[in-house]
Chains A and B, each alone.
Chain A
Amino acid sequence: MAAKEARDAVGEYKAGWHDPENATIRFDFGLSEQVVRDISAIKNEPEWMTEIRVKAYHHFENRPMPTWGNMSMLKNIDFDKICYFLRSGEGTEDDWDDVPEDIRNTFDKLGIPEAEQKWLSGVTAQYESEAVYHSIREDLEQQGVIFLDMDSGLREYPEIVKKWFCSVVPYQDNKFSALNTAVWSGGSFIYVPKGVHVEMPVQAYFRINAKNMGQFERTLIIADEGSSIHYVEGCTAPTYSTDSLHSAVVELIALPGSHIRYSTVQNWSTNVYNLVTKRGIAHKNAKIEWVDGNIGSRLTMKYPAVILKGEGSHAEVISVAYSGKGQHQDAGAKIHHLASNTTSKILSKSISKDGGRGSYRGLVSVSPKAENCKLNVVCDALILDENSRSDTYPTMEVANPTARCEHEASVSKVSDEQLFYLMSRGHAEEEALAMIVNGFFEPFTRELPMEYAVELNKLMALEMEGSIG
């Protein structure tokens, strides 16, 4: 699509507006043990959850900031100037008409209700700290599929949540998983029973509206034996001059023979720090796929991970990142081959423009007992101008001699020959560039539901506008 058409279609960071704040509960800025206990009390949580939150809070307080990555950006996060809990509605509704009008309008503008009618099995819409809307198709409910916001999941299925919560991402994992565990609110809870295939994707949409807001959703997806599900998430925020923090934790459990695909199109505004921990564990013959697009945010640090625990399990991570002015997309993937005959594939693509910085940071490991594993990692990066930068930091740890591991990466500029070819067929240079970029991202977009892919192509065409001259 031509860049002008894209601009007409989506405008400049189209999700950058904000609504007036109509909070029913808003915590003061800053974090303390009392804040953590208050969040838990408001939600009327069981004691074990409060205890985990408090332990996680102390771990967060004692754990230093990471000494790797973009430390100059990380040190700008002021945890005392973040609001850790803000409730905007009266609860989670299952009818859009019952959602407060200003919030409903926001999701209308984002196209969520329309998408729900056309191609989704279920939707959760989270606004600030909590879900304001939730629905699931009746036939799935009848088959025993549970799709709830995480707060409702904890209320209605405490035993399942207790069994799996923190089982894949313990709060001690890193500073931000500790923060999330301490103050989590919202997110999705999904359980797919044995043998059930959820044909159409379910979607969660996360929206930050307030200034200096922290959003800490927690998502837990359990696919029982032989089941499958595709979960899609999107996210946007208004553009403010002050910073917001998004620090989610996602845990996936793929039981034997199941298949989980988790797709993300991250389009936070460029005042948001996006520091996310996503990890799945794949049991025997299970498959986990992360399809991960990072377009927005100021700093993203996100490395979707899969632990291949069961023999014959498989992992795939397909990710793209666009880094524009003032942005650093530090994204990647981690795969741990713990069992024999496991396979994995990582494909990472990034584009840096207008002084942006794109980094791939990855780890693949093969344990001594994992026989006959195969893994392949490919990273490609395009740098579009002289002010931008691209980095690749892959790590391979192989402790079994039967493993076959391949990694390749390349950094280049847009080929003059490709530009010339397209321009000789009548495309303006800017259009040609946008087409090449969309083609570069095609291995990612083809894995997305069509509506997402179209939207992503529009966004990329818009980002390419002004690239020439």
Chain B
Amino acid sequence: MDAASLYKSLDEPDKADHLWRYTPWKRVHPSGDLSEIPSTAAPKLTLSCLDENVALIGISIEEGIVGAEVLPESDEVTSSFIRAAAGDSVYTLRAENNFVASSPIVLDIDTGDSPCAIHLALDIGRHCEFELITQISGAAPWTGVLRSGRIGDGSILNDVVIGHTDSGTLLRVDSIAIGRDAQVKAGTVSSGSERTKADLRYKMGETGGHLNVLGSILSASKMHLDHHVEIHHDAPETFSRLDWHSACGGNSRTVGTGMLRVAKGARGADAGQLFHNLLLSEKAEADSIPELEVSEHDVVGCGHGTANGPVDDDQMFYLESRGYDTSEARDALIAAFLNSTLIEMGSDTLHHWLTEHLQDELNDLKS
């Protein structure tokens, strides 16, 4: 069945499913008419290296799906919708076996100013080692990005996606399989769009996979940023951590929902997830649902935690006693809060680049 037929055969998602509890599909759909699959433009893609002196050999963007399509875990409604809306806007980011880059690779996805959708397949070979920054920007009223694929055996990948479209709605779906002994850091920096709905799923289907999912979310004005992260431990000796920091100001709302699913047979799984929410204004709201489903008893441990709170008074007092004015102290604490996950996303170079990016967003928050 093609993607459009599959989408049209599906029922409207139920709000009882927590994936749709706070951001129903109707609010994410481009027109609100759920039966419609609108035509969209293809975004402009640019692949480069942060260090301009490094040549891109061994990594490329190719049109279409190269090799077999890998879509390990996904919600059928969103993935089939984006695939149908994307039409021919299908690309594969391909890293050859043993590809290594000393400086982060940057993939710019420029949405333009009309509705746009893309299906980006990731085909990361064995024993690669590099950092990938995927930057989604532009002024499209609606953007759909589906990233699917597999990280090859033994690869070490720091994969950071930055969502900072000017306005409109961003629907992002990740469906990624982690190869045997692969080590992946999957970072999300979200600070743009009026509305973001992200459904990020990782399948740990092979022994020894190691995954860190990290989020730095900054919402202001009337933004509504909803991120759902699922990690499926299906193989033995797999490790995952999720650390999600959301700072929420203005009239905005952040939603963080997580699902850690440990299947029977995933012996020695070690899984944990943490959601931290910093509420910056009276009208801001932060919701968290960190869920666990564990069907294997022989686990190292599975746990989750959530903490919500305002900017800490003691920390404010400490900084003010050392000469910061109230506004500076507050900004420093917000930046530090978001930086605690940013710093874990990759190398110093990557971190430096991300903090510069975030500083602009923090200035926007102040204004």
Residues of A within 8 A of B (CB): 66-68, 368, 381, 383-413
Find A397's partner among B283, B285, B296, B310 (CB 8 Å cutoff): B285
Determine if B306 is an interface residue (Cβ-Cβ < 8 Å). yes
> Is A397 touching B282 in the complex (CB atoms < 8 A)?
no
Residues of A within 8 A of B310 (CB): 401-404
* Apart from the given pairs A386-B264, A401-B284, A412-B301, 14 other A-B contacts in the complex at a CB distance below 8 Å: A381-B294, A388-B295, A392-B291, A396-B289, A396-B308, A399-B285, A403-B308, A404-B309, A405-B307, A407-B288, A409-B304, A410-B301, A411-B294, A412-B302
Determine if B292 is an interface residue (Cβ-Cβ < 8 Å). yes
CB distance from A65 to the nearest CB of B (A): 11
Determine if B14 is an interface residue (Cβ-Cβ < 8 Å). yes
Determine if B352 is an interface residue (Cβ-Cβ < 8 Å). no
Residues of A within 8 A of B169 (CB): none
A402 to B310, CA, bound (A): 6
> Is B297 touching A396 in the complex (CB atoms < 8 A)?
no
Determine if B176 is an interface residue (Cβ-Cβ < 8 Å). no
Pick 29 A–B contacts, CB within 8 A, sort by A: A368-B283, A383-B294, A384-B297, A386-B296, A387-B264, A388-B297, A389-B294, A389-B295, A392-B290, A392-B291, A393-B291, A394-B289, A394-B306, A397-B287, A398-B277, A398-B279, A399-B284, A400-B279, A401-B280, A403-B310, A405-B306, A405-B309, A407-B290, A407-B305, A408-B304, A409-B305, A410-B302, A412-B299, A413-B298
CB distance from B131 to the nearest CB of A (A): 32
A394 to B303, CA, bound (A): 12
Determine if B281 is an interface residue (Cβ-Cβ < 8 Å). yes
> Is A386 touching B298 in the complex (CB atoms < 8 A)?
yes
A413 to B286, CA, bound (A): 32
A384 to B299, CA, bound (A): 11
Determine if B18 is an interface residue (Cβ-Cβ < 8 Å). yes
CB distance from A118 to the nearest CB of B (A): 40
Residues of A within 8 A of B290 (CB): 392, 394, 407, 409
Determine if B55 is an interface residue (Cβ-Cβ < 8 Å). no
> Is B303 touching A398 in the complex (CB atoms < 8 A)?
no
Report which residue of B281, B284, B298, B308 has the largest number of chain A beta carbons within 10 angstroms of its beta carbon.
Answer: B308
> Is A401 touching B294 in the complex (CB atoms < 8 A)?
no
> Is A395 touching B289 in the complex (CB atoms < 8 A)?
yes
> Is A401 touching B303 in the complex (CB atoms < 8 A)?
no
A115 to B216, CA, bound (A): 57
Determine if B68 is an interface residue (Cβ-Cβ < 8 Å). no
Find B287's partner among A391, A398, A404, A412 (CB 8 Å cutoff): A398
CB distance from A455 to the nearest CB of B (A): 27
Residues of B within 8 A of A (CB): 14, 16-18, 264, 277, 279-299, 301-310
CB distance from B283 to the nearest CB of A (A): 7
- Asked if A396 meets B294 with Cβ closer than 8 Å, knowing A407-B307, A410-B303, the reply is no
> Is A392 touching B287 in the complex (CB atoms < 8 A)?
no
Instruction: Return the chain A residue nearest B289 by Cβ.
Output: A395
CB distance from A360 to the nearest CB of B (A): 9
Residues of B within 8 A of A399 (CB): 284-285
Residues of B within 8 A of A406 (CB): 305-307
Residues of A within 8 A of B301 (CB): 410-412
Chain B, interface SS category: strand
> Is B282 touching A368 in the complex (CB atoms < 8 A)?
yes
> Is A398 touching B264 in the complex (CB atoms < 8 A)?
no
Find B297's partner among A67, A385, A393, A394 (CB 8 Å cutoff): A385
- Asked if A390 meets B283 with Cβ closer than 8 Å, knowing A396-B308, A405-B309, A411-B303, the reply is no
**What number of residue pairs across chains A and B have CB atoms under 8 A from each other?**
116
A409 to B286, CA, bound (A): 19
CB distance from B205 to the nearest CB of A (A): 19
> Is B303 touching A404 in the complex (CB atoms < 8 A)?
no
- Asked if A409 meets B292 with Cβ closer than 8 Å, knowing A386-B298, A398-B285, the reply is yes
A264 to B264, CA, bound (A): 33
- Asked if A408 meets B293 with Cβ closer than 8 Å, knowing A398-B277, A413-B298, the reply is no
> Is A403 touching B309 in the complex (CB atoms < 8 A)?
yes
> Is A408 touching B305 in the complex (CB atoms < 8 A)?
yes
**Ordered nearest first, which 8 A-B pairs have the shortest CB separation?**
A401-B279, A383-B297, A410-B303, A407-B306, A405-B308, A392-B292, A408-B305, A399-B285
- Asked if A404 meets B308 with Cβ closer than 8 Å, knowing A399-B285, A411-B302, the reply is yes
A412 to B268, CA, bound (A): 11
> Is B304 touching A392 in the complex (CB atoms < 8 A)?
yes
> Is B293 touching A398 in the complex (CB atoms < 8 A)?
no
Instruction: Return the chain B residue nearest A395 by Cβ.
Output: B289
A398 to B17, CA, bound (A): 20
Residues of B within 8 A of A394 (CB): 289-291, 304, 306
A399 to B253, CA, bound (A): 9
A67 to B12, CA, bound (A): 14
CB distance from A395 to the nearest CB of B (A): 5
Instruction: Return the chain B residue nearest A363 by Cβ.
Output: B289
CB distance from A214 to the nearest CB of B (A): 25
> Is B16 touching A67 in the complex (CB atoms < 8 A)?
yes
CB distance from A271 to the nearest CB of B (A): 25
Find B289's partner among A68, A386, A393 (CB 8 Å cutoff): A393
A150 to B306, CA, bound (A): 41
A225 to B21, CA, bound (A): 39
A395 to B255, CA, bound (A): 11
CB distance from B119 to the nearest CB of A (A): 30
> Is B303 touching A409 in the complex (CB atoms < 8 A)?
yes
A120 to B264, CA, bound (A): 46
A396 to B290, CA, bound (A): 9
> Is B288 touching A413 in the complex (CB atoms < 8 A)?
no
Residues of A within 8 A of B281 (CB): 401
Residues of B within 8 A of A409 (CB): 290, 292, 303-305
A391 to B290, CA, bound (A): 11
Residues of B within 8 A of A407 (CB): 288, 290, 304-307
> Is A396 touching B309 in the complex (CB atoms < 8 A)?
no
> Is B299 touching A411 in the complex (CB atoms < 8 A)?
yes
Residues of B within 8 A of A402 (CB): 310
